Amino acid sequence: MLNSGNVLPVKIHPPLLRPMAYRVLSKKYGLNIKSDGLVALADVVGSMFGMHWKKNADTVRFLETFALVWRQQERGLFVDEQGVADVVNEMKERERANEPVPVVESTNKVRNVTIDGMLVKDTQRVSEGESEAAVLVEDSEQQASSVSDLANDQIANEEHLDWRNYFKVINAADQAKVSYDPVKLTFVFTPARRDHNSDFGASLASRICDTNASARVFPNRFHLVRNKVMRNENFQDMDDFNPLSSIVAIQRDLDKSSASVSAAMSITQIKNLLGRDGQNFLLLGLLSRNSKGHWCMEDPSGCIEIDISQTLPTGGLYYVPGCIVLVEGIYFTVGNKFHVSSITHPPGEKREQTLEAIGNLDLLGLHGQTSSNYISRLDNELKIRLYYLEKELTDHRIVLLGGDIFLDEMDTMQALRKVLTPLDDDPPTMIVFHGSFTAVPVHASMNSKNISSTVQYRNNFDELADLISQFENIAEASTLVFVPGVNDAWGSMVSMGAAHILPQQPVPSRFTHKLRKVCRKIIFASNPARMAYLSQEIVIIRDDITERFKRHSVPFPMEILAQSHDKSANPEVTAIRQLIKADDQLPMKVRESRKLVKTVLDQGHLSPFLTSIRPIAWSNDNALTLHPIPSTLIFCDTTAPRFDLTYNGCKALNPGKFMIGRRARYIEYNPSMKKASMEEVFF
């Protein structure tokens, strides 16, 4: 319909189109047409239908489809010029996506809806609304019948969904760049730069960060966390709630008879502390060190030095420079210092609550066309249908191999052979290989055999290709995903095996030619990467973050004093807590795992550090943001124990290190039931 073919375009005066547009758009769909929108609509109709646009029935169908798309995208009541351009582009994309599909001649025939194509809306409900309003439109019977036929075709097309169309791995560079605008209180899409003619220039532009983005990294992170805090139910009634309840709780304990003690606490901006000596405040800000080396708190309004000598931190969390924390304490004008009594992380929020709060925006940019003026939304009906389809696919499995699969070591090849042999009988849906894929960082030097490290690196992948070629079922049916580590090219050329910039680019294709020929479905992902599996969003990252958390953890004097007091106690006296097991007395590995998962998810970021501790690519910081939190978080950390946890509805998995002695370890994950099993084989 949108393809003009051999039609000779004409110039239509907007007043000539107004009666037809009024009948269809205004009376039938309740839309108001602005003058600039009418001009743009007249240009489109004239270019598509030519001089016979009044007699052509496709003109009315075009306006009806235009109104349907406008309402589906929730663009409001007023049709303007920019909206007309965006909706027409969306209609063209939908028509282009439907071109290779044969014409539906019966209701039994169906077509597949891809994740990159358009989302089918609730057309049955819309068609019912159309039939009720059809009496207001001239020639209503003919128009209503045509729309009803169109709706019936779409309903028939909805009967079948192919899960392969909703299974996709998204690298960091391909993810839609969406940031939060605190002034407009909305999310803003930043399109990719297209000012380079060559592929090399475009590739270089994707790796060179925008200097303006560095100033937006932490403010954007702060505002997302602050919005999450203010949505928390405990912060909705500021008259009787204190989130940290330290000073007020002490007052209540001292005076049990007074039940009317006010616990009113609200988040105060740092700039508003000036002149309010000796008062109790609750602050939300970024924890860091100032130029003098003292601890301080920052928010968009200012910075203040803090005293943590008497601070009692909330347990089960890591506190490092770069975290956004809630602190309670007293401000003293003498020395302009804030004395902190309690500190904690912002409260967590479930994925469904965050999506509902932001209007079900498609922040990954997968379910529709996203522009600088419009961000596509997730379709609730499609989400429900994908959820039920997901529950039916109980045979789907994802195998997560442990980290540090050193292909240059013979033991690794033996371990891989031992792991892949039983999997070949019943190949899983996907196998994830976590780097590093070489024990020695790829660098510009020669080894003892006078072979460069890059040649040796390519030979390692060739040996892996020879190994996988022996397992035909895996090579044909399974999707192999490779996530790089710190020793992999090309980041290791600079870092020499140390933690380098995130996100990390995929393994270059020049090293993997043979592996790509052997495997039918293979993906070299970035680090981190996101996977869309039906209704779930899965985040995969390879990073030894636990060791970094411990190394940069903030030392609280009160905690150190309590630990030293326990050590200095009489060893002959047995503490009561050692005799009676409490509910919170868990194994050390479980506590460390919970501490890691809670810290990362509450911060809403995969690297909650200052850039001086863990550098990040400023322009791709959105790829590290966990807003909303994913359905599943695969965090391969060789410095942390293996774990399988669920926090706020997010399934968190860590396969740990691949080889421990003569044992090869991996995790089998069933995304349909969200169940994981820790596997271990001896070789």
Q: What is the helix (H) or strand (E) element at residue 375, kind and residue range?
A: none
For 245, residues 6+ apart whose C-beta sits below 8 A from its C-beta are 263
CA dihedral for 577, 581, 585, 588, sign (positive or negative): positive
Confidence of residue 447 (pLDDT cuts 50, 70, 90): low
User: Given this model, what pLDDT does residue 237 score?
Assistant: 54
Residue 226 predicted with pLDDT over 90: yes
Give the pLDDT band of residue 204 (cuts 50, 70, 90): low
Give, for 167, the enclosing helix (H) or strand (E). Answer: strand 167-170
- Higher per-residue confidence, 445 vs 409: 409
pLDDT tens figures, 315-370 = 899 999 999 999 999 999 888 899 999 999 999 999 999 999 888 888 887 776 67
Which of the pair, 448 or 168, is modelled with greater confidence? 168
For residue 596, what pLDDT is reported? 96
Is residue 261's pLDDT more than 50? no
The percent of residues above 90 in pLDDT, for the chain, comes to 45
Local confidence band at 106 (pLDDT 50, 70, 90 cut-offs): very low
Sign of the alpha-carbon dihedral angle for 355, 358, 362, 368: positive
pLDDT of residue 582: 56
Helices of type H across 407-482: 410-425, 453-468, 472-477
- What is the average pLDDT value for the chain, to the nearest integer? 81
Q: How many other CB atoms are there within 10 angstroms of residue 78's CB atom?
A: 11
Q: Which band of pLDDT confidence, cut at 50, 70 and 90, is reported for residue 581? A: low
Answer with the residue of higher pLDDT: 102 or 512: 512
Q: What is the pLDDT of residues 584-623, one digit of tens each?
A: 678 889 999 999 999 999 999 999 999 999 999 988 899 9
Does residue 168 carry a pLDDT above 60?
A: yes
Beta bridge partners of 538: 531, 632
Q: To 5 degrees, how large is the angle CA 163–CA 165–CA 166?
A: 70
- What is the average pLDDT across 409-413? 92
Please tell me the number of Cα atoms within 13 Å of 361 on its side-chain side: 21
What was the pLDDT predicted at 5? Answer: 53
What local confidence, expressed as pLDDT, does residue 542 receive?
Answer: 95
pLDDT at 655: 96
Minimum mean pLDDT range among 258-262, 429-433, 500-504 = 258-262
Q: Characterize 470-501 residue by residue with b for buried, 16 or more Cβ atoms within 10 angstroms of its Cβ, and e for exposed.
A: ebeebbeebbbbbbbbbbbbebbeeeebebbb
- pLDDT tier, 99 (very low <50, low <70, confident <90, very high otherwise): low
Report the pLDDT value the prediction gives residue 1, as an integer from 0 to 100.
59
Q: What is the pLDDT of residues 520-571, one digit of tens each?
A: 999 999 999 999 999 999 999 999 999 999 999 999 998 888 777 666 655 5
10 Å CB burial of residue 620 (0-12, 13-18, 19+) is buried
Give the pLDDT confidence score for residue 680 in this predicted structure: 94
Domain range summary for the chain, segments of one domain joined by +: 14-160
Q: Which residue has the higher pLDDT, 282 or 573?
A: 282
Residue 16: pLDDT band (50, 70, 90) is: confident
Highest-confidence segment of 48-62, 146-160, 188-202, 423-437: 423-437
* Average pLDDT of the residues in 110-131: 40
Report, as an integer, the average pLDDT of 638-649: 94
Kindly report whether the peptide bond that precedes residue 478 is cis, defined as omega within 30 degrees of 0: no
